[in-house]
Amino acid sequence: MSSAPAAIQELDVCAIDGWTLHEFAEVTSTSSLAAHLPAWSAVSATVQTAGRGRTGRRWVSDEGGVWLSAVVPTPGDPALWALLPLAAGRAVLDAARDLGVEGVRLRWPNDILVGRRKLAGIMVDRFSAEAAVVGIGLNVSNQPATVDEALATEVTRLADLLPAAPARAGLLVRLLAGLTREHHRLEVGDVAGLCRDLNAAWVYRHVHVTLASGQGAINGHFEGIDSHGSLLLRGAVGEWRVLPAHQVELFREIF
Ligand code: BTN
């Protein structure tokens, strides 16, 4: 395993509850850097110059947010670890709830929202069969709208939702502890428990959604997930559809 490229200045490395956390001032993407590190390593940076979001989108990562990537082992059944993006969503949701953020919810697959505004996003990369990199972007006191005006109405931050923006160190500890917990839940095969918790967290699950999938556009009510992580949709005349997650290219809520 290689450590960080020499050109990147590492600010600190510390041990947190079984994790080795490498902190940097500026990187392209914490997830790209974490891809070279062993399981239970984590990388955080003050700024990402090329932060990546899901489906090839860019992720604005200015100073004041938490940009964190954590490497977890994924032994055994790949079908189990296909649920990791959902489990990571649960971990971040719980961290936000524990901080006292009111009205925080999950939007499939793992966006963390308050109302319609995004507080945090998660992207899981599989660079090998043995491990996955869970990348978490959490808006805290950063100013994403100064980078991209369109984000002014799309994004929220902990600083907008709590009396004071929580300290970065404590946030990193909470997020890593949540990932450890959810990873353990998958490792012991408690898929039923995960799905039960997730299905209680899609607060807007009765909202109409439109999906783009290999089968074209599909409208319906999102009713949660089954024990394989497939989406359950109820159509206009009450018919049910089960859609494997990998077939869903776009998931949009219609209010
Ligand atoms: C999304 O909602 O599209 C996922 C956003 C994930 C952003 C995080 S920030 C830390 C890690 N490094 C990246 O380049 N992306 C993820």
Per-domain residue ranges of the chain: 10-201, 208-254
Report the pLDDT averaged over residues 20-34.
Answer: 97
Give the β-pairing of 131-138 and 66-73.
Answer: antiparallel
The Å distance, Cα 169 to ligand 1 centre, comes to: 19
Rounded mean pLDDT of 131-154? 96
User: What pLDDT is recorded for position 1?
Assistant: 47
Task: Tell how far the Cα of 122 is from the centroid of ligand 1, in angstroms.
Answer: 6
**pLDDT over 60 (residue 5):** no
Ligand 1 atom 16: residue of nearest CA? 135
When pLDDT is cut at 50, 70 and 90, the band that residue 238 belongs to is confident
3-state SS, residue 106: strand
Ligand 1 atom closest to the Cα of residue 28 is 14
Beta bridge partners of 222: 233
Write out the two tokens for 146: 């100064």
The 10s digit of each residue's pLDDT in 7-19 is 688 899 999 999 9
| Cα torsion 68, 69, 71, 75: sign | positive
For residues 23 and 10, is the Cβ–Cβ distance under 8 A? yes
Atom of ligand 1 nearest to the CA of 51: 14
Give, for ligand 1, the residue of 61, 62, 171 to mutate: max count of ligand atoms closer than 8 Å to Cβ: 61
Q: How far is ligand 1, taken at its centre, from the CA of residue 113, in Å?
A: 15
Chain segment 100-125, per-residue pLDDT in tens: 999 999 999 999 999 999 999 999 99
Residue 129: name the closest of 83, 81, 88 by CA.
81
- Tell me the CA–centroid distance for residue 155 and ligand 1, in Å: 14
Digit-coded pLDDT (tens) for 166-224: 999 999 999 999 999 999 999 999 999 999 999 988 866 567 898 887 778 888 999 99
Residue 68 CA: nearest ligand 1 atom is: 10
Strand order in the sheet with 216-225: 240-243, 231-234, 216-225, 208-213, 248-254
Dist. CA 228 → ligand 1 center (Å): 24
Identify whether the C-beta of residue 102 lies closer than 8 Å to the C-beta of residue 199.
Answer: no
* Nearest CA, atom 9, ligand 1: 137
Q: What superfamily in CATH does domain 10-201 come from?
A: Bira Bifunctional Protein; Domain 2 (3.30.930.10)
Q: Name the CATH architecture for the domain at 208-254.
A: Roll (2.30)
- Which pLDDT tens digit goes with each residue over 67-91? 999 999 999 999 999 999 999 999 9
Q: What is the pLDDT of residues 86-97, one digit of tens each?
A: 999 999 999 999
Mean pLDDT, the chain, whole residue set: 92
Structure tokens at 158: 């902990």
Counting atoms of ligand 1 from 1, which one is nearest the CA of 61?
9
Identical topology for domains 10-201 and 208-254: no
Model pLDDT, residue 3: 53
pLDDT computed for residue 190 by the predictor: 94
* SS3 (DSSP) at 231: strand
Residue 28: closest CA among 57, 3, 48, 8: 48
Residues near ligand 1 with C-beta < 6 Å? Answer: 29-31, 48, 51-54, 57, 59, 61, 67-69, 111, 121-123, 135-137
